[in-house]
Structure 1
Amino acid sequence: MRYTYRCDVCRLTWDAHDDYRDAKADRKAHMYRAHHGARPDDQIIESPGPLDQMGSAAWEAASSVAQSIARVALRGLRSKGFREAQQTEWFRQACMLLGGGILLLMFINWLTN
């Protein structure tokens, strides 16, 4: 993030900083210099930097991929073939094995913490 100090009373905006504390230092210096220690109506504006924008783009791409996978999985779960597979013995055993494994891992975690 980039941080910019803006004094709404003076209608002045300072240069953007990478650190929030630098923008707060601008605020403090201006408060004592121009307003004699009184706190004016002001704000510190956050604006995304280039890395934040790239991170947002990557997050959107990952989100769309996850949504696509979820749609495909939901279609698979609603399909006739899956409903028929649920009626078989191997499906019941696989569910029991998976559930038992999860319970075993939770028990081990509980014992070790």
Structure 2
Amino acid sequence: MARAGSLRHKITFDKRADVDDGYGNTQAGWVEQFTVRGEVRPKLGGETVTAARLQAQNTVTISVRQSDKTRLIREDWRARDLPEGVEYAIKSIVDPDDGGAWLELLCQTGAAA
């Protein structure tokens, strides 16, 4: 479980949305929602075969404090660790204390978001 002193990462959450390309057209893109402090804990890495190519995947657990903002996070969003410049696909969201102070997000790099 995360503690306040372990929230060393700035985590930004983005949501997919249609974005105007400036020419009257829309295209799918990411829209930044908010940034919070969080803890990133690595899990075991792995590999997957996608389109006959081996692709590395790193799995992490990101812990953030529950708030009105963080309770909006969904599995189709992505998380970005700003200082590290890493993008994560959110795979699952768990409230480990069932209404407690934290949310834990199971996330992967190298995964299609």
From the two aligned structures, give the one with the greater helix fraction.
1
From the two aligned structures, give the one with the greater strand fraction.
2
Higher alpha-carbon Rg = 1
Alignment TM class, shorter chain as reference: under 0.3
- TM-score, length-normalised on structure 1? 0.22
Q: State the structure with bigger RCO (CA 8 A, min sep 6), 1 or 2.
A: 2
